[in-house]
Chain A
Amino acid sequence: MTSRLIIETDQLARAFGDVVAVDGLCLQVRPGEIFGLVGPDGAGKTTTIRLLAAIMDPTGGSARVAGFDTVTEPEPIKRRIGYMAQRFNLYGDLSVWENLNFFADVFEVAGSERRERIERLLNFARLTEFRDRRAAHLSGGMQKKLALACTLIHTPEIIFLDEPTTGVDPVSRREFWGILTDLHLEGITLVISTPYMDEAERCSRVGLMYQGSLVVCDTPERVKAMTRGELIALWPSDPRRAKDILARHGEVLEVQTYGDQLRLFVRDAGSAMGWIDTALAAHGVEVLEMRPTRPRMEEAFISLIQGRMASEGS
């Protein structure tokens, strides 16, 4: 069983003084997966990735990556992984080509293999025509692609990506995910943290982190199925009043707002479509549009976090 897992943590914990960033984390990743770590800011995603990349020691528990212990055997791990930190961490005063070459030296990739791989990665990241440009002068999206290319120079078994697409425009984001999907198809294991729910949907499995531990860890489909009741999308004439009215209604489990739109979790969508109209009309709020819909990761995520917060509060 253990041999089937490429990453396995046991009660992994890391505290910074009084602040516990990662708290008894039990995580299992299978080879070839795209594993998504999602969660609000400060949930412990970055610390988790650093612990797994063996560049930070835990204060409790243990982790095995590619069969090695992160504390006692960090070096074999570092030969087998690629790590892309959240901040741009290449050398801005070196060109694209020089950065790739530097990491090729660091990972002891030499000879014809080295030339071949650098060409392939430049092509892969669509950076061939920018090879002589200094990394600092690349756009944000190109910098991310270069950083990814540098982590791939030694063909790692596992790649850790800490919020790789934060601050990247939608077009570059799509392109970046195209590259990640190609890597996934090559059989590389990807562990990626992201604040974007649409990215979470692309993962094989997602782990939802909250306050240092996993709230759920499953496939996106199953996570979405964890929400209670059925979902209705509603566009009322006065969203704020409508929210107050509906939140008090016994049939409504949860109300989330998205701009002018309300998303209601109700026990039964069919009957709700009938009474919502009248309930709002009684208070002078008009229904502009209303339809039953399927929950997205975003609703599931907010619902699960709110549920967790409510259970902590009581």
Chain B
Amino acid sequence: MNWRRVLSIMRKEWWHITRDRASFVLLMLSPVLVLVTMGYAFSVDIKDVKIGVLDQDLSQLSRAYLAQLSSSGALRLEALPASLSEVEQLLMRGQVKAVVVIPRGFERDLKAGRTGAVQVVVDGTDPSTAGHAIRHIGSHTEHFAAQQVGDRLARLGISLNRLEPIELRLRAWYNPSLRYTVSMIPALVGIVLSVPAMAASLALARERELGTLEGLIATPIGRTELIAGKLVPYMLAGLLSVPLCVATAVYGYNLDFHGNLWLYLALSAVFLFATMSIALFISIFAKSQQVAIMASMIIFLFSGFFMSGLLIPFALMGPLLKLEAFMFPTTHFVIISRGIFVKGVGLGELQGYSIALVGIGVVFMALTVLMFKKKL
């Protein structure tokens, strides 16, 4: 290992990055751009779901129930259709996501002590919004029903302070209002920090494609020197974008950074090392830039989203998929990033994940150096 040679390759690589405006912008700014666009795409916290109510009873009690439904910000009473055909039209046009049908005799049944039935129709083409509507309509209905029970008991001369024997007091630690962005943005940093690795993979493939690699392998340059010289500048570029990502999260999305920024930087470096190792490993086999970019996109973006526990929870994965996810650096970094960013935890809690990242990096780096041949 000749350090002068490594430094020379690093400097050359840095010149490649900084002199080509397109690649400089891609490398330095794309993490932030991706974070901004994807952040918005993933941070749609559902609120204000539009609903309609078809009141066929038109009684005092049905009015009270209606008022109960629209009492919180979760649902918005958008329309009062008069008939079932109107209900269908509303759903077809997408003007409402759910319709509550209060049947004739609603008040009479309740007053007579019978069970009152209420129908809820939801737009099943959008399950997450429908689910949200069902949950909120359900809780409002339960609340309303409990009031009715209380009223009836009072009429019978029984008075109770509390109707529910157990009250559930929910407290979401680290993210009290359960904002989606609080969990998504730090996780997305794991995706956007894969961009420098993709660029590194592209850089080696480009040298192969342009023929400059042919010139290099005819020199006494060592393969470790060559790989190290490629790795470091792209890691540096990636590290520079970490503070930019944190700033975007804090100022752009109003997140609080709870942990230690230096630890975050250090573990980001470890993560970059792991992704870079995989990316360079890919580019040994990639004969062209297209192959390199396709392969690294499938690995870093596709798997990054679907296998890292970012979108699909681990609990839903089969044992094989879990094993695959474990070998994938983004999986560990998503946990590290959420941990430091949101929970403010230290290295002690993140030890296992950090060791896993180091392991992945070392294994793939060793494979890369061993399998890189100075031959055409």
Contacts and interface: CB of A to CB of B under 8 A. Distances in A.
Interface string B355-376: 0000000000000000000111
Contacts of A107: 219-220
A89 B218 CA distance: 11
A83 B218 contact: yes
Interface residues of B, number: 24
Contacts of B221: 106
B215 interface: yes
A56 B19 contact: no
Interface in B10-61: 12, 15-16, 19-20
Contacts, number: 70
Given A50-B376, A55-B376, A89-B214, A106 B20 contact: no
Contacts of A78: 218-220
A105 interface: yes
Interface residues of A, number: 30
A94 B18 CA distance: 11
Contacts of B19: 93
Nearest to B217: A55
Contacts of A75: 220
Contacts of B219: 78, 103, 106-107
A94 B12 contact: yes
A79 to B, nearest CB: 5
Interface string A69-111: 0000011001101010101111101100010011101111010
B4 A108 contact: yes
B212 interface: yes
Contacts of A83: 215, 218
Nearest to B8: A105
B143 interface: no
Nearest to A92: B210
B229 to A, nearest CB: 10
B176 interface: no
A57 interface: yes
Nearest to A76: B220
B318 interface: no
B108 interface: no
B165 interface: no
A188 interface: no
A300 to B, nearest CB: 32
A88 B12 CA distance: 17
Interface in A30-83: 50, 53-57, 74-75, 78-79, 81, 83
8 contacts: A53-B218, A55-B375, A57-B375, A75-B220, A91-B16, A105-B7, A106-B219, A108-B5
